[in-house]
Amino acid sequence: MNIAIIGTGYVGLVSGVCFATQGHTITCVDVDTKKIQRINKGISPIYEEGLEPLLQKHKNKIHATTSYDEAIQKSDITFICVGTPSKKNGEIDLTYVTQAVKEIARCIQNKKSYHAVIVKSTVVPSTTQKIILPLLEQTSGLTAGKDFGVGMNPEFLKEGVAIQDFLNPDRIVNGYYDEHTRKLLKELYKGFTCPIIETSVTTAEMIKYASNCFLATKISFMNEIGNFCKQLNIDAYDVAEGMGTDKRIGRAFLNSGIGWGGSCFPKDTQALRAWAHKEHQSAAIIDSTIHTNEIQPLKAITLLKKHIPNLKGKTIGILGLAFKPNTDDIRDSRSLVIIKELLKEKASIKTFDPQAMPHVKNIYPDITYCNTAEEVLNSDAVIIATLWDEFNSLSYKGKTVIDGRRMHKAQQEAAIYEGVCW
């Protein structure tokens, strides 16, 4: 199949490269010319394990351009993969989606063959049916289901293991508006052995939100239990093992710590809550999930102040800035919350992250960025904020460590050690 991918961020580029591994021909579109140039040179504009080698291996099947016309004229199917960031009130901002939709509509006007437009960006339930589809029809003058197709195919990949997740998903959700699109999506994913759920576009949108909100809730719940465990001087990870062996619960997403961040959970929980409030629905569980996550990184500061009551002028090391290991993504990273609090307390900050430092430099240019993780240890205390593998090889002997992510080595070696929930 010939596929156009609109937006070459984490989801767009990973999807494009993975579809190319399945034998499809991909044209990526982005408004960012630097990204386009890099992709065409076989250089990934984002850090994602395994992405660049695959991009190079399949470069004869992947081309990037800023031209919607070029991409859509030669494709059977277009995936919208642009960002849907949060607005201040928590709702998703559809600016990039509507820009992309108008461009796509203009291009499909002149197509002779049937073209399907598939939303992969995360959009709140009813967006495809009530906003995207009418906008495609109004701008193109065509009729959905008759002249072109519409679908919603949410993406569940996790950054850091995105390629593996995309190629071996737990399930694929194909939301479709018209029969032709259902068949196209079925054909596209025929090489995958996982369950494929065919459903309406609005159900597909809700499956994505319900899944992410549930996972965020599972972690926040465990963080609340973890805070009780700390008070009781017991280990939340022992409790998680005991709970997780129950098949109805499962062990995944029971790791307590300083909370969740990233491009999805914060944005998706806020968007579903904002939608619920607008519709005068109670969102009590999602409200609590978000609240617990907001206070959780502050536990690290409370524990730090137990040992260093006045942080003014003290040097505090932060190990890790990315929201999780194996990515350079800092969106809503808990480290940023910790940095903000430490600066309020007038501490001086040293930090190291193998991938994410350039992004944080744009926000906090005046803190100290170290060349190695070891340099961070030369501080009055260290906070472990992201569990990068390489932090396991450091020596924590004689150090004061506040551990937000549970690192056994630090627990064994540090002179003073505090785990947030253990």
Label residue 130 exposed, middle or buried (CB < 10 Å: 0-12, 13-18, 19+). Answer: exposed
Please name the residue that has the structure tokens 């972690």: 219
Report which DSSP code applies to 390: G
Interacting residue with ligand NAD among 4, 29, 185, 402 (CB under 6 A): 29
Residue 82 or 316 having the CB closest to ligand NAD: 82
Size of the site for ligand NAD (CB under 6 A): 26
Interacting residue with ligand NAD among 4, 5, 9, 351 (CB under 6 A): 9
Task: Return all residues near 355 (Cβ < 8 A) that are at least 6 apart.
Answer: 47, 322, 327, 328
What minimum distance in Å lies between the beta carbon of 122 and ligand NAD?
4
Q: What is the number of the residue whose Cβ is closest to ligand NAD? A: 9
Residue 260 or 396 having the CB closest to ligand NAD: 260
The candidate with the shortest Cα–Cα distance to 198, out of 227, 175, 226, is: 175
**Are the CB atoms for 28 and 2 separated by under 8 Å?**
no
Residue 29 or 301 having the CB closest to ligand NAD: 29
**Are the CB atoms for 3 and 16 separated by under 8 Å?**
yes
H helix runs in 233-327, sequence order: 236-244, 265-278, 284-307
Q: Does 271 bind ligand NAD (CB under 6 A)?
A: no
Q: Does 19 bind ligand NAD (CB under 6 A)?
A: no
Q: Does 166 bind ligand NAD (CB under 6 A)?
A: no
- 5 by DSSP, 3-state: which? strand
Q: Does 403 bind ligand NAD (CB under 6 A)?
A: no
- 37 by DSSP, 3-state: which? helix
Q: Does 153 bind ligand NAD (CB under 6 A)?
A: no
| Stretch touching ligand NAD by CB under 6 A, among 9-17, 252-260, 390-398, 404-412 | 9-17
Q: Does 261 bind ligand NAD (CB under 6 A)?
A: no
The candidate with the shortest Cα–Cα distance to 234, out of 37, 361, 419, 378, is: 419
Residue 166 or 352 having the CB closest to ligand NAD: 166
H helix runs in 58-94, sequence order: 68-73
The candidate with the shortest Cα–Cα distance to 200, out of 144, 271, 126, is: 126
Residue 335 or 400 having the CB closest to ligand NAD: 335
Q: Does 18 bind ligand NAD (CB under 6 A)?
A: no
| Stretch touching ligand NAD by CB under 6 A, among 2-10, 248-256, 298-306, 381-389 | 2-10
* Cβ-count burial 99-111 (b if 16+ within 10 Å, e if not): ebbbbbbebbeeb
Q: Does 264 bind ligand NAD (CB under 6 A)?
A: yes
Q: 18, 81, 264, 370: which one is catalytic? A: 264
Pattern 202-241, ligand NAD, x by CB under 6 A: ----------------------------------------
Task: Return all residues near 236 (Cβ < 8 A) that are at least 6 apart.
Answer: 222, 225, 226, 229, 230, 256, 421, 422
The candidate with the shortest Cα–Cα distance to 262, out of 392, 365, 143, 386, is: 386
What minimum distance in Å lies between the beta carbon of 312 and ligand NAD?
37
Interacting residue with ligand NAD among 128, 153, 263, 270 (CB under 6 A): 263
Interacting residue with ligand NAD among 32, 69, 374, 390 (CB under 6 A): 32
In angstroms, the Cα distances linking 278 to 212, 286, 317, 320 are 20, 14, 42, 37
Judged by CB under 6 A, the chain residues 75 through 104 that form the site for ligand NAD are 81-84, 96, 99-100
Q: Does 275 bind ligand NAD (CB under 6 A)?
A: no
Interacting residue with ligand NAD among 75, 121, 351, 355 (CB under 6 A): 121
Residue 82 or 407 having the CB closest to ligand NAD: 82
Geometric angle at alpha carbon 346, from 341 and 347, rounded to 5°: 80
How many CB atoms are closer than 10 A to CB 333?
28
Residue 81 or 342 having the CB closest to ligand NAD: 81
- Single-letter amino acid, residue 79: F
Query: Does residue 264 have an active-site annotation?
Result: yes
Catalytic residues: 264
Which residues bind to ligand NAD, rule: CB under 6 A? 6-12, 29-32, 35, 81-84, 96, 99-100, 121-122, 155, 157, 159, 263-264
